[in-house]
Chains A and B, each alone.
Chain A
Amino acid sequence: MAEVKDPRFQVVGINWKARPQTAAKPVPKRRLAGKPVFAFVLLLAIVLGCLFAGQLANHDPSGYYLQNLNEAPDSSFYFGTDSLGRDIYSMIWYGGRVSLSIGLMSMVIITALGITYGCISGLANTGVDAVMMRIMEMANSIPTLLLLLLLMSVIGKANAVTLAAAIGVTGWFALARLVRSEVRQIRNSEYVLAARCMGVGFGRIMTRHLIPNFVSSILFVIIASISSSISMESTLSFLGLGLPVDVISWGSMLSLANRALLLNTWWVIIIPGVFLLVTLNAITSIGNAFRKGNTKKPSNL
């Protein structure tokens, strides 16, 4: 057989297989476009820093260095010391552990309560649903902070777990409302109906049929609840109703801010605040990336 010289042709035989077009590998840059890479890296750095607090810290975070009160940042105390003589650099990492875990714990509680309440209310008949929604409206009309003040004054001396529980218990209303409206939309679909006809219990319907269908649309609320819980923790601690000063968290570090104002020691205020701020913004922008992109019509204007 004559050799085929023209490169545009090729010999095919009985065993010939179309070679799949090697798909152009997505350039990493394009794959990451529109995703909050920067926020993710920042958050990862902070989380890792908190996990390896023991290696990073160069002082005992709860040690009182009484001869170094209110020291400005220098080579030994990287971020300075506060009015009790504690090393802020070491406290940041240990405090971050507490703050982040409070955020996560509250998030779990908020998610569990919000989804359960929302599903019950969404699946229930009109009367029960109306009553449950009225209760929610009532709870919603009281400022959240006031509810928390009440709870914290009842609890008295708080620790990280009770604080997270209090924040979780007062924070799930918005999520429950969202879940309910999602459930209302899918409750009449055939598969839910079929499941009910077969006598599937509420718990199974919720976990197998409802949650997988609305989880994508509530994910960003759940992630945002981490940052709002962390922010709540710091607010309460700052007001003197959260964690006491000797339990180190970013909030309780900031509760010394008023004293720092009198002493004019800016690093006590700015440094934990910046860490808090960066964390909150990073979590939020990651959460927003999970928001469904809305398909926009072109404007008429």
Chain B
Amino acid sequence: MLILSVVVFYFARWAPGDPLQSFYGDAVESMSSEELAAARSRLGLDAPIHVQYVRWLQGALHGEFGLSLKYKMPAMRVVSPLVGNTLLLGTTAYLLVFLLATFLAVACALHEDTWLDRLICKIGTAVYYLPPFWLGVVLVLVFSIQLKWLPSSGAYDVGKAGDVFNRLRHMILPLTVMILSHLWYYGYMIRNKLLDELRQDYVLLAKEKGLTKRQIVWKHCLRNVAPAIVNIMAISIPHVLSGTYIAESVFNYPGIGALSVASAKYHDYNLLMILVLITGALVILSSILAQTVSEIIDPRIKETGVSAWQR
């Protein structure tokens, strides 16, 4: 994460976009060169890059991440109320994606090479290649503007922040976009894993015992596939996080994804820095979590040590 922060910092300061522009707005153009220099030194932008970085790092270790140049508030204060929103959206989408993907995969595996399997595969692939932002816009067009069923933006109506039902209504469309744009990618992976599993010998034994197809898949195969699913889930975290960026931007959902896009647009580097760090932390934490879960599910991983995990 330290390396990440150095890279981002240097990158950000090379950028041609002038941070002063977003801090003072159009006033920059009417300032004289002395005023400009004074403004620069006030914001600490005149020091060499490595001095700026050390200064930033010292602040960061004390919990000070600098001012957001656009919002003119400490960056931390801009970000903190939004993290929860994104986590809520991201986690719900993430869990639903894998729940639905597993169901679809089982449905496909039970009916391998029948019309059902082929239909799900075809539709799934087509939907997966829909650009998610376009899907979002079309959903707004249909459900919010034509049918007026669902709200098109925000996380809650004004003054209804605590209303659970209101929040849920706002989450339906972003969730749909995120789920549809990731579902089949993982569904297909799980389906193929399941199909491999169905060719193992123990399936024959289970069949001889008189178990039904359904029982075999749910009780035997799915358990054996579970570690692989958890593995896929761990790798997929950054991928799903990318999805929140698009979904949040399309629906103006107040979260860190939409904020990252905005801060990249306005060259608001202090804000962008903290967002990158938060994202990095989320990814690292969740992969540790995934590793723990897969050790619980499949004790073999623990015995063979790290090597099996990093295979």
At the interface, yes or no: A231 with Cβ under 8 Å from chain B?
A: yes
- A150 partner, pick from B242, B249, B276, beta carbons under 8 A: B276
- Measured CB to CB, the closest approach of chain B to A275, in angstroms, equals 11
- Interface bits B193-205 vs A (CB < 8 Å: 1, else 0): 0010011110110
Chain B residues with Cβ below 8 Å from A193 are none
Secondary structure at the A interface, as helix, strand, loop or mixed, is helix
At the interface, yes or no: B261 with Cβ under 8 Å from chain A?
A: yes
At the interface, yes or no: A261 with Cβ under 8 Å from chain B?
A: yes
Are B238 and A154 in contact, CB atoms less than 8 angstroms apart? no
Are B134 and A254 in contact, CB atoms less than 8 angstroms apart? yes
- Interface bits B201-222 vs A (CB < 8 Å: 1, else 0): 1011001000001001100000
**What residue in chain B is nearest A228 (Cβ atoms)?**
B129
At the interface, yes or no: B150 with Cβ under 8 Å from chain A?
A: no
Task: Given A150-B8, A153-B15, A273-B131, decide whether A299 and B246 contact each other with a Cβ distance below 8 A.
Answer: no
Task: Mark out the residues of chain B between 267 and 288 whose CB falls within 8 Å of any chain A CB in the assembled complex.
Answer: 267, 272, 276, 279-280, 283-284, 287
- A276 partner, pick from B131, B249, B260, beta carbons under 8 A: B131
Task: Given A238-B133, A284-B129, decide whether A154 and B14 contact each other with a Cβ distance below 8 A.
Answer: yes
Task: Given A235-B131, A277-B134, decide whether A266 and B265 contact each other with a Cβ distance below 8 A.
Answer: no
Chain B residues with Cβ below 8 Å from A280 are 129, 131
- Interface bits B28-53 vs A (CB < 8 Å: 1, else 0): 00000000000000000000000000
Are A269 and B138 in contact, CB atoms less than 8 angstroms apart? yes
- Measured CB to CB, the closest approach of chain A to B147, in angstroms, equals 13
Q: How large is the interface on A (under 10, 10 to 19, 20 to 34, 35 or more residues)?
A: 35 or more
At the interface, yes or no: A234 with Cβ under 8 Å from chain B?
A: yes
- Interface bits A223-258 vs B (CB < 8 Å: 1, else 0): 000010001001100111100000000000010011
Task: Mark out the residues of chain A between 267 and 301 whose CB falls within 8 Å of any chain B CB in the assembled complex.
Answer: 269-270, 273, 276-277, 280-281, 284-285, 296-297, 299-301
Are A300 and B261 in contact, CB atoms less than 8 angstroms apart? no
* CA of A154 to CA of B15, assembled, Å: 4
Are B241 and A300 in contact, CB atoms less than 8 angstroms apart? no
At the interface, yes or no: A125 with Cβ under 8 Å from chain B?
A: no
Are B138 and A273 in contact, CB atoms less than 8 angstroms apart? yes
At the interface, yes or no: B4 with Cβ under 8 Å from chain A?
A: yes
* CA of A287 to CA of B166, assembled, Å: 44
Are A140 and B131 in contact, CB atoms less than 8 angstroms apart? no
* CA of A281 to CA of B129, assembled, Å: 7
Are B242 and A143 in contact, CB atoms less than 8 angstroms apart? yes
Are B264 and A234 in contact, CB atoms less than 8 angstroms apart? no
At the interface, yes or no: A149 with Cβ under 8 Å from chain B?
A: yes
Chain A residues with Cβ below 8 Å from B161 are none
**What residue in chain A is nearest B268 (Cβ atoms)?**
A153
Are B204 and A240 in contact, CB atoms less than 8 angstroms apart? no
Chain B residues with Cβ below 8 Å from A145 are 242, 245-246
* CA of A152 to CA of B261, assembled, Å: 10
Q: How large is the interface on B (under 10, 10 to 19, 20 to 34, 35 or more residues)?
A: 35 or more
Chain B residues with Cβ below 8 Å from A254 are 133-134, 137
Chain A residues with Cβ below 8 Å from B265 are 153, 239-241
- Interface bits B133-162 vs A (CB < 8 Å: 1, else 0): 110011011000100000010000000000
* CA of A99 to CA of B131, assembled, Å: 14
Are B238 and A143 in contact, CB atoms less than 8 angstroms apart? yes
* CA of A241 to CA of B230, assembled, Å: 34
Task: Mark out the residues of chain A between 97 and 145 whose CB falls within 8 Å of any chain B CB in the assembled complex.
Answer: 138, 140-145
- Measured CB to CB, the closest approach of chain B to A203, in angstroms, equals 29
Task: Given A257-B137, A300-B203, A301-B213, decide whether A143 and B245 contact each other with a Cβ distance below 8 A.
Answer: yes
**What residue in chain A is nearest B110 (Cβ atoms)?**
A301
Chain B residues with Cβ below 8 Å from A143 are 238-239, 241-242, 245, 279, 283
Chain A residues with Cβ below 8 Å from B264 are 149-150, 152-153, 241
- A235 partner, pick from B126, B201, B241, B246, beta carbons under 8 A: B246
* CA of A150 to CA of B273, assembled, Å: 10
Are A261 and B276 in contact, CB atoms less than 8 angstroms apart? no
- Interface bits B1-29 vs A (CB < 8 Å: 1, else 0): 00110001001101111000000000000
* CA of A232 to CA of B241, assembled, Å: 15
Are B204 and A142 in contact, CB atoms less than 8 angstroms apart? no
At the interface, yes or no: B130 with Cβ under 8 Å from chain A?
A: yes
Chain A residues with Cβ below 8 Å from B129 are 227, 231, 277, 280-281, 284
Chain B residues with Cβ below 8 Å from A296 are 195
Chain B residues with Cβ below 8 Å from A150 are 8, 11-12, 264, 272, 276
Task: Mark out the residues of chain A between 146 and 195 whose CB falls within 8 Å of any chain B CB in the assembled complex.
Answer: 146, 149-156
Given contacts A238-B133, A276-B134, A300-B199, 9 further A-B contacts (CB under 8 A): A142-B276, A146-B241, A149-B245, A150-B276, A269-B141, A277-B129, A300-B203, A300-B204, A301-B207
Can you list 5 A-B contacts (CB < 8 A)? A153-B267, A154-B14, A276-B131, A280-B129, A281-B129
Residues of A within 8 A of B (CB): 138, 140-146, 149-156, 227, 231, 234-235, 238-241, 254, 257-258, 261, 264, 266, 269-270, 273, 276-277, 280-281, 284-285, 296-297, 299-301
